[in-house]
Amino acid sequence: MSSSNWTTDFLSQLADVGIAVEQIPLPAISLWQIASPQWQQFAELAMLADLRWASGWAEHHDERLFINACFEKYGVYVLLRAIVNTAKPELPSQATVYPAANRSERHSQDMYGVNFLGHPDNRRWTRHKAWAKNHYPLRKDFPVAGMPETITPPDMDYPFVKAYGAGVYEIPVGPVHAGIIEPGHFRFQAVGELILNLEERLAYVHKGIEKIAEGRNPESLARLAGRISGDTTVGHTWAACRAMEQAAGVEIPARAALLRGILAERERVANHLGDMGAICNDVAFVFAQMQFTRLREDWLRTNAAVFGHRLLMDKIIPGGVACDLTDESAALITQGISQLRKELSEIMPAVDLNSSLEDRLYTAGYLAPDIAKAFGTLGYVGRASGQDFDVRRDAPYAPYDQANFKVALEDQGDIASRFWVRYKEINAALKLIGHFISQLTAGDILAEWQTPLPGSESLGIVEGWRGEIMAYVRFADDNKIARFYPRDPSILNWPALEKLTLNNIVPDFPVCNKSLNGSYSGNDL
């Protein structure tokens, strides 16, 4: 089945089993609306047709809740929607079919009061004692400031999974850690040093991103999106801007698209360098950590010199970009690319030939391809376990629709694979940056904004450095945002950590965790 006809064939399959689909045209995506009792049945057929479950969220409209899920195949996305009443908001769970839907449904359960019938794990996920049981913070009638108590009660009674038997013991780690990382709790069950089970508990720093997005104008939403996860400010802002631009019918200038591509690839290189160094550091190969950190610092200083911000924050804006590139700056970037390639050519052989590093990274933290697929893992986590998907290639958008590059892919699924995929992605990014610079011609960097009609909605999708990023936007009156939902790749990648850690030893957990490097902030909306 080709990308051009799978939706037609799948709609025919749905009709054969009595699932009526109302097709609603949206900018850049297909919206299929079905009856809520058929929500799970749709997922069952989607699984048989090899559709990937990509995202899920809810939205409050008067006395109704819109329940959404996004599916993808061959780079073609379909937005599925069912409508339930707020008086009794329930529908069958898709998490029984797609493990990737588990935490998303729990988020909608906690924040909207949706009852997903038959859900395999309906413990609260996002609430964390900050709200009363019958309070649903993302409904429209809930105040932005909430109704906070003087002190939020400690979340001490979460029912973690228990393991029993001779020699079994429990190790609680976090949520507060010794380093500067954000809070997240990890509960281990182990025998000796062997990990039998790991359970995560996240969302300790719920920021209210979805709630405080309501009522903002496009410029303000773009700034907010850039602060969802500070290491992915380019990726999240681009996704949010793509969604708004599509909803408003705004096409950005060609030069602006190329500049966005340069910014995104520079963000990718900086983060991969940092991760590669951190992986080496977690197994005491400090030499490599120092070298990768030095290279990342040089890269970030060039960002500051050329674009005015080390992390490139607020450089993407609705309609284009807020920064341009002079010939001198382009030459500086090109020189930096040559220098980085030279440095890596000297460092990587030392890394590759280090036997102690090899002993710690190869076969450790194994994530099987079938598990990676079931959980919908993205970016370097998925591609290191054989998941051959990259939005830039498979659902291309400007400027990637005019570029050729090789998607890094490994199938060993271990920490070493996730390390080497990052290195290959750096090389591809350097080529892309050079190509985009060579394609720059004189022109505008910002299109005139057009106020979208009330109710206009769209989904912006880009390939961030961790993988596919999604941003859903619906406009209200007067150019204001009615609903914003951002989906960081970490939301799908974090559950894979529980799987790839199994049967490893406790001392290897830090490097397993770093090889995945999920964003706490990107998860804790």
Distance (Å, rounded) from C-alpha 295 to C-alpha 220?
33
Cα–Cα distance measured from residue 62 to residue 27, given in angstroms and rounded to the nearest whole number: 24
Q: What is the mean pLDDT of residues 362-382?
A: 96
Neighbouring residues of 314: CB distance < 8 A, sequence distance ≥ 6: 222, 223, 226, 233, 237, 322
CATH 2.60.40.420 fits 6-117, yes or no: no
Per-residue confidence (pLDDT) for residue 212, from 0 to 100: 95
pLDDT score for 151: 79
* 3-class secondary structure, 23: strand
Q: Which of 213, 203, 224, 69 is nearest to 525 (CA)?
A: 203
Q: Report whether pLDDT(378) > 80.
A: yes
pLDDT band at 3 (very low <50, low <70, confident <90, very high): low
| pLDDT for 466 beyond 90 | yes
Q: What is the pLDDT of residues 279-300, one digit of tens each?
A: 999 999 999 999 999 999 999 9
282: left (phi over 0), alpha (psi -120 to 50) or beta: alpha
Task: Place 4 in a pLDDT band, splitting at 50, 70 and 90.
Answer: low
Q: What's the pLDDT tens digit per position in 442-460?
A: 999 999 999 999 999 999 9
Band the pLDDT of 1: cuts 50, 70, 90. Answer: very low
**Res 178: pLDDT:** 77
- Residue 183's identity, in one-letter code, is P
pLDDT tens for 188-244 read: 999 999 999 999 999 888 889 999 999 999 999 999 999 999 999 999 999 999 999
Mean of the pLDDT values across residues 10-16? 95
- pLDDT tens-digit series, residues 202-217: 988 888 999 999 999 9
What is the DSSP annotation of 370-435? HHHHHTT--HHHHHTTT----HHHHS--TTGGG---PPP---S-SHHHHHHHHHHHHHHHHHHHHH
Q: Where do the structural domains in the chain lie, given as residue ranges?
A: 6-117, 168-201, 209-523
Supply the mean pLDDT for the chain.
Answer: 94
What is the pLDDT averaged over residues 375-389? 97
Question: Residue 90: is its pLDDT beyond 70?
Answer: yes
CB neighbours (10 Å) of residue 230?
13
What integer is the mean pLDDT of 235-263?
A: 98
* Percent residues over pLDDT 70 in the chain: 99
CA 152/CA 155 separation, integer angstroms: 9
Compute the average pLDDT of residues 69-86: 96
Q: Is residue 180 scored above 80 in pLDDT?
A: no
Amino acid at residue number 246: Q
For 397-409, write each residue's pLDDT tens digit. Answer: 999 999 999 999 9
Q: Looking at the predicted structure, is the pLDDT value of residue 488 above 50?
A: yes
pLDDT score of 432 more than 60: yes
Q: What is the pLDDT of residues 21-49, one digit of tens each?
A: 999 988 888 999 999 999 999 999 999 99
pLDDT at residue 176 in the model: 86
Segment 292-311 shows an average pLDDT of 97
Dihedral (CA of 146, 137, 207, 279) sign: positive
Q: Report the top-level CATH class of 209-523.
A: mainly alpha
The stretch 75-96 carries a mean pLDDT of 96
Note the pTM of the prediction, 2 decimals.
0.95
CA–CA separation, 236 and 491 (whole Å): 14
What is the crossing angle of helices 102-112 and 490-500, to 10°? 120
Crossing angle (nearest 10°) for helices 327-352 and 415-439: 160
Q: Are 386 and 372 in contact (CB under 8 A)?
A: yes
Confidence band of 91 (pLDDT split at 50, 70, 90): very high
- pLDDT of 259 above 80: yes
Calpha distance 521→272 (Å, rounded): 18
| CA–CA distance, 139 with 122 (Å, rounded to integer) | 19
* pLDDT at 265 exceeding the cut of 90: yes
